[in-house]
Amino acid sequence: MESAKFITLEGIDGAGKTTQLESLVAWLRERKVPTVVTREPGGTPLGEQLRAILLDKSMVMHPETEALLMFAARREHLDKVIVPALAQGSWVISDRFTDASFAYQGGGRGLRWEKLEALESWTQGGLQPDLTLYFDVSVALGQQRVGAIKTRDRFEQEQPDFHQRVREAYLMRARQFPQRICVIDAHQPVDAVKAAVEHLLNNLLATGSE
C-alpha cells in the first residue's frame, strides 16, 4: 500500500478547483488508493458552522477575526479528520488549506504574513501538504466563471482588486515553496488541466511506492 499523502487544491474563485477535485479523486479511487475528501473552511461539524458564518455575505467582521475563525476551523479539521486519516493510511484531498489564509486574509485583507505564520505554526506545527495544486487563472476569467454558475458568497462578491491581491499572494506563496506548490495554468481547456494534474499524481504515487 502506498504511504499516505496529503494533497491540497488552491486557487482564486472560479479557477476550476471543484471540477479538478472530482477528477482527481476518481483517478485515485480507480487505482484503489484509500482517499478522504474534505474542504476548508469546514470538514467537521464545528468547521461547517464556522464556514456558514465566514461565507455569509451579510456578516461583517474584523480581518483578524476572520483569520482566527479560519484557523480555529483548521485546528478542528486537523484533529478530527486530516491527522487521523493520514495515520490510518488514507490519502487526504482537501479543497483549500493554509495557503488560502495567506492568499485571502494575507493578500486580500492585508494582514501581515508574520501573524499568519505564527497561527500556522501554532495550529499545525510542522505538518504541511505533500503536494499543493494551485490552479492559476486571471481574475477576469475567474469572475466570469463564478458569475455564470452561482450566487456569490462573502468572498466571491469582493471587488476585482481584492481577487487580484489574492492571486498575487498565491503566486508569492508558490515562489516561496516551489517544492510543494505546483502552479497549473487553469486558462487551458479542462482536459489539459486534468492531464497536468494526473502527471503530478503519477509522480507522487511513484514516490509513495518507493
In angstroms, rounded to a whole number, what is the distance separating the alpha carbons of residues 56 and 52? 6
To the nearest whole percent, how much of the chain has pLDDT over 90?
Answer: 83
Cell of 193: 488541466
Give the pairing type, strands 6-10 and 131-136: parallel
Is the predicted pLDDT of residue 150 greater than 90, yes or no? Answer: no
Residues 64-99 pLDDT 10s:
999 999 999 999 999 999 999 999 999 999 999 999
Look at residues 46, 186, 172, 59 and name the one whose alpha carbon lies nearest to residue 108.
172
Mean per-residue pLDDT for 11-33? 93
Q: Which residues, including other chains, have CB under 8 Å from residue 101's CB and lie 6 or more apart?
A: 67, 70, 71, 74, 116, 119, 120
SS3 96: coil
pLDDT recorded at residue 1: 40
pLDDT recorded at residue 2: 53
Residues 97-139 pLDDT 10s:
999 999 999 999 999 999 999 999 999 999 999 999 999 999 9
177 backbone dihedrals φ, ψ, rounded to 5° = -130, 65
Whether 22 contacts 196, CB under 8 Å: no
Residues 182-198 pLDDT 10s:
999 999 999 999 999 99
| Beta-bridge mates of residue 185 | 136
The pTM score is 0.93
Question: Which residue in the block uniquely carries the three cell numbers 482536459?
Answer: 191
Mean per-residue pLDDT for 12-38? 94
pLDDT recorded at residue 149: 62
